Amino acid sequence: MSVRTDRRAEAVAVETPFRRFASDFLESRIATVALAVFAVIAFIAVFAPWIAPTDPYDLAQVNVLDSHMPPGTEAFDGRVFWLGTDGAGRDLVSAICYGLRISLGVGVMSGVIAMAIGCAVGLAAAYFGGRVDTLIMRIVDIQLSFPSILVALVLLAVLGKGVDKILIALVTVQWAYYARTVRASALVERSKEYIDAASCLALGHRRILFRHLLPNCMPPLIVVVTVQTAHAIALEATLSFLGIGLPITEPSLGLLIANGFEYMLSMKYWISVYPGVALLVTIVSINLVGDQLRDVLNPRLQK
Amino acid sequence: MTVFIIRRLMQSSVVVAVMSLLVFVGVNIVGDPVDMLINPEADQAEIERVMRDLGLDRPVHEQYGYFVVNALQGDLGKSFIFGEPALQLIVQRMPATFELAIAALLIAVVLGIPLGVIAGLRPGAPSSKAIMAGSILGFSLPSFWVGIMMIMLFAVMLGWLPSTGRGDTVPFLGMQVSFLTWDGLQHLLLPAINLSLFKLSLVIRLARAGTREVVHQDYIKFARAKGLSESRVVLVHLLKNIMIPVVTVLGLEFGGLVAFSVVTETVFAWPGMGKLIIDSLHELDRPVVVAYLMIVVLMFVIINLLVDIVYSVLDPRVRLQDARA
C-alpha cells in the first residue's frame, strides 16, 4: 500500500509541462492516430530516395513499355507496380514518395520563413504600439481581405515560375496570419509583470522580445503553424496543378495529379487518384493534429 | 461617419495604386516589355510603332503615368491571341463565372444551413458527428482533386453528367446563361457543387455554432414554453437569429468564390474569367493577365469598402475604434 502511494508521489513529482501536454494530447485517439500517420508521411518524405522501390526520375530505371500499367501489374523484371504506373512508365509508389518529399519540403519551408517574418513583425507591432502597430496591422488586414489564391496568382503572374517564386508566394500568403496571432498574444503578455520586471532590469529590446515575450506567445502560434502548413501544401498543389506553380523538374503531388488528369477520360484513374489520396491523407492528418493542439493548448478548455 | 468613409476610400485608393504599381513593375521592369506587350510576330517597324504608342521610349516614371492614364480610360491593351481589347474579353466571360459562383453560393446555403442546424440541435448524435466530419473533409480536400474525382465518378464511370464545358446557353437579361436549358443545367451541376464544397463546410460550421448559441437563449425557451410546435420554433425563432452572421459571411465570401473559380473552371473547362486567366498565363498573353488582375483586385477593394461601410453603420464601435487609431 505504502509503496504504491510513494510511486504515485514520484509520478507527480516528475510531471513536467511537456509531459502534461503530451498526455493531454494523446487522450484523443483520432489525434494520436493522425500524429502517427503524419510521422510516417514525414519519414517517407525525408527518406524517399532510400524507401522508394525505384528512382522514378532516373531514366535507366524507367521503361516506357511499362506505361499506363494498372495497379498490381508485374513488370518485365519481376517487380510489382502496386499502384500502377504513369504515362511515362514511372512506378507510382516511387513517384508519390518523391512527390511527398517536394510537397512537404516546400510547404514546411514556406511555413518556417513565414513564421520568422510574421513573428518579428507581430512582436514589433505589439511591443512598440502606436503608429508602427497601426501601420503593420492595417497592411495585415488589407492582405487578409484578399483570398490566398488571388494573392498567389498576382505574385506568380508577375514573378513567373520556379521553386523560389512559389516560396515567395506561399510566404506572402501566410505571414499575415502569424503576425496577427503573435501580436494578439503578445499584447496580452506585454502587460504582465515579468515584462515590467525585465524592463526594470534595463534589458535590451531584443532580449525582452525574443527571450521573454516570444516564448510565452508560443501556444497559439503552434496551432497556426499546423493550420497554415496544411494550407500551404494544399495551395502549392493547386497552383502546380494549374501549371503556374512548380516547374516540371520538381514533380510535387499537384503535378502528378495534373499529369494523370489527361488520362482520366480513358479510365486510367490510378495516375491521379493515388497521388491525390497521399495529398489528402497528409492534409487531413495535419489538420486533425492541429484541432487537438487547439483544444489542449486553449486555457479556457482546461479542466 | 463622413470622415470614416473618406478614410476608407483613401485606403482603398492606396491599395489599388500599390496593386497597379506592382503589376506595372512586374510587367515593365522585371520582364522585358517589348517581349511581353508586343506580339512576337510583329516586324521591326511595327515594334517601333507600338513602343511609341505605349511610350516605352520614355523614362520609367512617365511610362507608369501612361499605364495609369490608359487604365483609367478602360484601355488595358489588346490580347495577342484574340486581337481584341483585353477588357472586353474579360467582360464577355464574366457572366459564366458569376453564374457558377451564384449557383455555388445557393448550394452552400440551401444544403449548409439545414445540415448546420441539425448538427447544432443534437451535437452528440451520430448524424451530427457525420455532418461535422464531412465539413472537416470539405475544408481539407483540395478542390481541384475533388473536381477530378467527380468527373471520374459521375461523367466517366457512371456517365450521368457531361464532364466538361458549359452546354447550351440562352440569352437572359442581355447575358448568355446556361441554367435555363436542361443541357446547360446538367453542365452546371458538377462545377457548381465542386466550387461550393468549401463554402458549404463554412456555412455548416457557422449555422451549427449559431444554433448552439441561440438554442439556450430565453426567447427560444419562451417559445417552447408557449407551446409552439418544434418546427415553428426552429424554422422561425431560431433560423431568423442565426441568419445574420451567415448572411454577412456569405456576402464577404462571394469574392472568394469568384477567385477560387479559377481552379474549378480549369478542371471543368468552364469558359469563364478564371479559365481565361490561366490560359493567358500559359500563352504569355500579358495584357489579359494584367487586365484580369486589375479588375478582380478592384472588385475586391469595392466589396471590402462596402462591407466596412455597412458594418460601421450597423455597429458604431467599429467607426469609433478606427477614429481613435
Residue to mutate among B15, B76, B144, with most A CBs inside 10 A, is B144
Distance CA(A131)–CA(B124), nearest Å, equals 48
pLDDT in tens, B47-95: 777 777 666 667 777 777 777 787 777 777 777 677 788 888 888 888 8
pLDDT in tens, A241-277: 888 888 877 788 888 888 878 777 777 777 778 888 8
Task: Give me the residue label for grid cell 509531459.
Answer: A19
Is residue A303 over pLDDT 50? Answer: no
Is residue A175 over pLDDT 60? Answer: yes
Per-residue pLDDT at A287 = 86
Is residue B179 over pLDDT 60? Answer: yes
Asked if A149 reaches chain B (Cβ–Cβ under 8 Å), the answer is yes
Q: Which value does ipTM take for this structure?
A: 0.78
Distances in Å between the Cα of A175 and the Cα atoms of A115, A163, A167, A168, A186 are: 6, 18, 12, 11, 16
- Is the Cβ–Cβ distance between A178 and A226 less than 8 Å? no
Per-residue pLDDT at A170 = 92
- Is the Cβ–Cβ distance between A254 and A245 less than 8 Å? yes
Residue to mutate among A132, A264, A270, A295, with most B CBs inside 10 A, is A264
- Predicted confidence band at B325 (pLDDT cuts at 50, 70, 90)? very low
Q: Contacts of residue B163 in chain A, CB cutoff 8 Å?
A: 265
Q: Are residues B140 and A284, on separate chains, in Cβ contact within 8 Å?
A: yes
Residues 220-249 of A with CB under 8 A from B: 230, 234, 237-238, 241-244
Per-residue pLDDT at B168 = 67
Distances in Å between the Cα of B195 and the Cα atoms of A255, B104, B190, B201, B281 are: 21, 6, 9, 11, 22
- Predicted confidence band at A218 (pLDDT cuts at 50, 70, 90)? confident
Asked if B139 reaches chain A (Cβ–Cβ under 8 Å), the answer is yes
pTM, to two decimals: 0.81
Per-residue pLDDT at B276 = 87
Distance CA(A82)–CA(A277), nearest Å, equals 14
Nearest to A145 among B25, B293, B300 (CB): B300
Question: If DSSP codes are grouped into helix, strand and coil, which group holds residue A129?
Answer: coil
Per-residue pLDDT at B71 = 76
AA letter at A214: L
- Is the Cβ–Cβ distance between B116 and B204 less than 8 Å? yes
What φ, ψ does residue B174 adopt, rounded to 5°?
80, 5
Residue to mutate among B140, B163, B195, with most A CBs inside 10 A, is B140
Is residue A228 over pLDDT 70? Answer: yes
Asked if B23 reaches chain A (Cβ–Cβ under 8 Å), the answer is yes
- Predicted confidence band at A117 (pLDDT cuts at 50, 70, 90)? very high
C-alpha cell at B135: 465539413
**CA angle B168–B165–B91, rounded 5-degree value:** 80
Across B26-35, average pLDDT: 62
Task: Give me the residue label for grid cell 482603398.
Answer: B12
Minimal C-alpha gap between A6 and chain B (Å): 40
Q: Are residues A157 and B151, on separate chains, in Cβ contact within 8 Å?
A: no
pLDDT in tens, A40-56: 888 888 887 777 777 77
